[in-house]
């Protein structure tokens, strides 16, 4: 259904509503209007990496892990999986009269904020630090969720618009001050692409202010950019409680009525929170007109018509509870988990040869917990396989598996912890390591340590991190186990950068979803070659970075970082070397021959970066402008074409205007970015193409 047709029907429906009825429809808990055949509807639902918070669903890797796949076509397929399960659950639950929270078809996903600082606890909800990668993955996810049929399969939401990435404990009062260049080049880029290319149905405003204006009532962000320049015709909603912050935190209004009026007049149609309970009072006080309320109500009803939720028959009505948590979806979850894991260090110990193993020790607080699989905004899987379970399954009848947790995930007082209960656990872990031929050491974080304010339990930082080091008790465990001298594979469960170098191999698992244990085992024992690439820069320490509250991009992310990364953006090792040959640029694409010199079928991510040699406005370092994932058999080769859009040859000046970047460019194509660390770690330099336009 076109937006025009949906809006025509919405206008006709809303014209029959009273002012009170219209005002009530602007709340996320929208009541029914029986006389008009409008059922109740709760707009709040989540689907960041699977249908969340509404019972059983396929649980995919957390968003940062999905980004590490560098596979937008597959991510679109996963988005379709999510929308299928979402429709199926909606049909089944609404048939039973359950229209409660988390049961609708308006999914408040994806989170396309730029993960500019590794301290941010919610960074693992994003697609990483690069605007281009974020835009490609975000557009694919939206297309998967919404589909391309007459009716939307589900409605996606681009959040949190727009300059939003911590600190969590300041978000209700914080003003993110950002230059016009950084605003357009970095923070708005992906949002514009999702609006224009994937036609995302909704946009959620952030909690904080941006350059003095509340994000949910911004002249610049909503009126000028979103509705004006980009032509967005969907609905806009607030983050939960964000409009209340207008008068309680930001102090830009004095009363709830003023806050409600400011938000609606600036274009915020839907309120997650309770401030739109004051809409009628705002009208009575002359702060709002009925026309203001009508406009927002029409946009919301148009979305419901696009979804077929107001009496229409849709192609998705046949979906039911048996379409949830299927074997086919579980197979896709395993494929995603395998693709997302990133091998950042390997001295040759991986892959482990099962025939040479008699005993394997699986150690660590994340070895046998579902919490290590989930990340935040997760569903409930019926098929979760922990790392320990996956390894045991793979080694059944072949090798003995010893297990010791070694420590808790986190402990404030390391000495008291070690001297008491945890001392015995570290001793047990060391004993297991000594008895083993190889050690799988599962360390890191979970959603209780890095996450959203109010959800995470690390009250000292409201979900953000204060260091890039592992928790102290885990560092003690790591030192004790590696000192034994056995081969150690360090598996890091986290959604962000940490400084972890210890171990013969280091594998970043992120939060890999329900199939994490099976995926890890397949990689450890050589059934699958690791193929994920980092969507963020891994730094040595926070001392290398600006203050957390500084939103200037200088010395942030791989594009502007002035130092040398621990593990660079775009980096990831595998078991099969790939050779790049005969690169050329023509007709808006880079074409290159990729040849496998490996012994097994494996994936490679071909990456293209651009340096704009003539422009004073270019980023400090070459920036990503194209990528493609390719699968090659042992010894096989393929001519791979990577599209490069015109955006690669433009820059944003200090006024935030998109201008040509001159005539002289260097394109780099290879399996990593062309930085010194990547070249040293991979032993290869990307091919260069010098281009004069």
Asked if residue 588 has pLDDT above 90, the reply is no
For 557-573, what is the mean pLDDT? Answer: 98
Q: pLDDT above 70 covers what percent of the chain?
A: 98
Mark whether 302 and 356 lie in a shared domain: no
> Which pLDDT score, from 0 to 100, does residue 414 have?
44
In this predicted structure, the answer to whether residue 419 has a pLDDT above a threshold of 60 is no
Mean pLDDT confidence for 305-327: 97
Q: Is the pLDDT of residue 416 over 50?
A: no
CA–CA distances in Å: residue 612 to residues 131, 617, 622: 17, 9, 8
Residue 80 has pLDDT above 70, yes or no: yes
318 and 393 share one domain: no
Rounded Cα–Cα distance for residues 483 and 641 (Å): 47
Q: Say what the pLDDT of residue 418 is.
A: 45
**The predicted structure's pLDDT at residue 82:** 98
DSSP string across 470-527: PPHHHHHHHHHHHTT-S-EEEEEE-SS------SSEEEE--S--TTHHHHHHHHHTTS
Are both 217 and 355 inside the same structural domain? no
- Do 314 and 386 fall within a single domain? no
Instruction: Quote the pLDDT of residue 374.
Output: 96
Q: Looking at the domain assignment, is residue 341 inside a domain? A: yes
- Give the pLDDT of residue 456: 78
* Token representation of residue 99: 């229209």
At 381, is the pLDDT very low, low, confident or very high (cuts 50, 70, 90)? very high
Q: Examine the residue annotation and report whether 239 is marked as an active-site residue of this protein.
A: yes
Residues 633-689 pLDDT 10s:
999 999 999 999 999 999 999 999 999 999 999 999 999 999 999 999 999 999 999
Of residues 517, 514, 508, 511, the one with CA closest to residue 372: 511
pLDDT digits (tens, 9 = 90+) for 342-368: 999 999 999 999 999 999 999 999 999
Out of 536, 567, 594, pick the residue that ends a domain.
536
Domain containing residue 416: CATH number: 3.40.50.1700
Q: Rounded CA gap, 112 and 160, in Å?
A: 7
Q: How confident is the model at residue 458 (pLDDT cuts 50, 70, 90)?
A: confident
Residue 227's pLDDT band (cuts 50, 70, 90): very high
Whole-number pLDDT of residue 682: 93
pLDDT tens for residues 267-280?
Answer: 999 999 999 999 99
In-domain check, residue 557: no
Query: Residue 423 — very low, low, confident or very high, per pLDDT cuts 50/70/90?
Result: low
Both 303 and 339 in one domain: the answer is no
Radius of gyration of the chain (CA): 25
We report the CATH number of the domain holding residue 120 as 3.20.20.300
Across 176-198, average pLDDT: 98
* Tens-digit pLDDT profile for residues 24-47: 999 999 999 999 999 999 999 999
Which of 204, 203, 202, 112 is closest to 165 using CA atoms?
Answer: 112
Query: Could you tell me where the beta strands, DSSP code E, fall in 229-274?
Result: 235-238
In a domain, residue 675? The reply is: yes
Q: Are residues 236 and 95 in the same domain?
A: yes
Q: Is the predicted pLDDT of residue 460 greater than 90, yes or no?
A: no
Residue 586 predicted with pLDDT over 90:
no
Identify the band that residue 410 occupies on the pLDDT scale cut at 50, 70 and 90. confident
Whole-number Å distance between alpha carbons of 227 and 217: 13
- Domain boundary (278, 293, 323) is at 323
Q: Which of 298, 450, 453, 675 is an active site residue?
A: 450
For residues 494 and 592, membership in a common domain is answered with no
User: Are 143 and 181 within one domain?
Assistant: yes
- The encoded tokens of residue 203 equal 């946009």
Q: Is position 648 within any domain?
A: yes
pLDDT (mean) for 409-436: 73
Report the run of H or E that residue 401 belongs to, with start and end: strand 400-404
**Nearest alpha-carbon partner for 47 in 91, 8, 87, 18:** 87
**Number of domain units in the chain:** 3
Mean of pLDDT over the chain:
96
> How much is the pLDDT for 71?
98
The set of residues, in sequence order, having a beta carbon less than 8 Å from that of 234 and lying 6+ positions away, is 3, 199, 200, 201, 202, 203, 299, 303
Active site residue 148: no
Say which of 168, 201, 239, 338 is annotated catalytic.
Answer: 239
Q: Both 349 and 296 in a single domain?
A: no
Q: Percentage of the chain with pLDDT > 90?
A: 95
Distance CA 309, CA 312 (A): 7
The CATH number given to whatever domain includes residue 616 is 2.60.40.10
The answer to whether residue 201 is domain-embedded is: yes
Q: Are residues 187 and 318 in the same domain?
A: yes
Alpha-carbon gap, residue 470 to 96, rounded angstroms = 47
pLDDT attached to residue 480: 97
pLDDT, residue 185, reads 98
Q: Domain for residue 504, yes or no?
A: yes
Q: Is the pTM for the entire model greater than 0.95?
A: yes
Q: What value does the mean pLDDT take over residues 570-580? A: 97
pLDDT higher than 50, residue 51: yes
3-state SS, 424-472, equals HHHHHHHHHHHHCCEEEEEEECCCCCCCCCCCCCCCCCCCCCCCCCCCH
- Mean pLDDT to the nearest integer, 280-300: 98
In a domain, 548, yes or no: no
pLDDT at 670: 97
Domain stop point among 485, 511, 536: 536
Residue 647 to residue 294: CA distance in whole angstroms = 38
Same domain? For 526 and 586 the reply is no
| CA neighbor of 667 nearest in space, from 625, 605, 629, 637 | 625
The tens digit of pLDDT for each residue in 113-137 reads 999 999 999 999 999 999 999 999 9
DSSP H or E segment with residue 72: helix 72-95
Domain that holds residue 73: 3-323
Residue 358: other Cβ atoms inside 10 A: 11
Q: Is residue 132 part of a domain?
A: yes
Do 297 and 358 lie in a common domain? no
The burial of 624, by beta-carbon neighbours within 10 Å (0-12 exposed, 13-18 middle, 19 or more buried), is given as buried
């Amino acid at each position: 259904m076109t937006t025009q047709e949906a809006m025509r029907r919405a206008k006709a429906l809303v014209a029959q509503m009273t002012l009170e009825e219209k005002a009530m429809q602007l709340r996320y808990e929208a009541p029914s209007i029986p006389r008009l055949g409008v059922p109740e509807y709760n707009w709040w639902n989540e689907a960041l990496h699977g249908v969340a918070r509404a019972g059983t669903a396929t649980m995919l890797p957390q968003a940062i892990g999905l980004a590490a796949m560098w596979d937008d076509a597959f991510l679109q397929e996963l988005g379709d999986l999510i929308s299928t399960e979402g429709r199926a659950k909606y049909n089944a639950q609404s048939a039973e009269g359950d229209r409660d929270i988390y049961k609708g078809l308006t999914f408040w996903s994806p989170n396309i904020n730029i993960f500019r600082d590794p301290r941010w606890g919610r960074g693992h909800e994003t697609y990483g630090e690069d605007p281009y990668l974020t835009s490609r993955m975000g557009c694919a996810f939206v297309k998967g969720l919404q589909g391309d049929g007459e009716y939307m399969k589900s409605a996606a939401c681009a959040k949190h618009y727009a300059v939003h990435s911590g600190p969590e404990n300041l978000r209700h009062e914080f003003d993110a001050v950002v230059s016009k260049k950084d605003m357009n080049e970095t923070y708005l880029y992906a949002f514009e692409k999702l609006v224009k290319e994937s036609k995302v149905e909704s946009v959620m405003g952030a909690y904080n202010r941006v350059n003095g204006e509340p994000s949910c009532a911004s002249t610049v962000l909503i009126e000028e950019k979103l509705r004006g320049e980009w032509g967005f015709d969907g609905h806009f909603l607030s983050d939960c409680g964000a409009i209340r912050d207008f008068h309680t935190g930001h102090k830009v209004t004095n009363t709830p009525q003023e806050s409600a009026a400011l938000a609606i007049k600036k274009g915020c149609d839907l309120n997650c929170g309770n401030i739109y309970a004051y809409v009628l009072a705002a009208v009575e006080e002359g702060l709002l007109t009925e026309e203001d309320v009508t406009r927002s109500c029409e946009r919301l009803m148009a979305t419901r018509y696009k979804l077929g939720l107001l009496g229409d028959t849709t192609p998705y009505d046949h979906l039911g509870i048996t379409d949830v948590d299927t074997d086919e979806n579980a197979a896709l979850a395993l494929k995603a988990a395998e693709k997302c894991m990133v091998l950042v260090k390997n001295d040759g110990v991986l892959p482990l040869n099962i025939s040479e193993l008699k005993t394997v020790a699986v150690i660590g607080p994340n070895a046998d917990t579902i919490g290590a699989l989930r990340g935040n905004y997760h569903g409930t899987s019926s098929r979760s396989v922990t790392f320990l379970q996956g390894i045991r399954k793979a080694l059944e009848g072949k090798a003995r598996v010893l297990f010791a947790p070694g420590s808790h995930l986190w402990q404030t007082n390391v000495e008291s912890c070690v001297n008491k209960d945890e001392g015995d656990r570290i001793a047990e872990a060391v004993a297991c390591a000594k008895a083993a031929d190889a050690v799988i050491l599962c360390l890191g974080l979970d959603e209780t340590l890095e996450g959203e304010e109010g959800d995470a339990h690390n009250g000292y930082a409201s979900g953000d991190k204060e260091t890039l080091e592992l928790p102290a008790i885990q560092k003690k465990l790591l030192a004790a186990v590696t000192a034994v001298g056995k081969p150690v594979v360090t598996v890091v469960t986290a959604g962000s950068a940490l400084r972890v170098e210890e171990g013969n191999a280091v594998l970043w698992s992120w939060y890999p979803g329900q199939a994490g244990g099976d995926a890890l085992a397949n990689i450890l024992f050589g059934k699958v070659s690791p193929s994920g690439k980092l969507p963020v820069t891994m730094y040595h320490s926070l001392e290398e970075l600006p203050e957390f509250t500084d939103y200037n991009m200088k010395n942030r992310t791989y594009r502007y970082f002035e130092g040398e990364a621990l593990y660079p953006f775009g980096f990831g090792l595998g078991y099969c070397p790939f050779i790049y040959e005969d690169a050329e640029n023509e007709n808006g694409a880079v074409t290159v021959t990729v040849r496998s010199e490996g012994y097994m079928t494996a994936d490679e991510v071909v990456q293209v970066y651009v340096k704009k040699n003539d422009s004073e406005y270019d980023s400090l370092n070459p920036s990503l402008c194209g990528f493609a994932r390719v699968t090659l058999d042992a010894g096989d080769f393929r001519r791979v074409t990577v599209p490069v859009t015109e955006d690669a040859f433009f820059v944003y000046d200090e006024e935030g205007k998109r201008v040509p970047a001159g005539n002289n460019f260097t394109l780099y194509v290879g399996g990593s970015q062309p930085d010194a660390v990547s070249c040293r770690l991979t032993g290869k330099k990307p091919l260069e193409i010098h281009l004069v336009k």
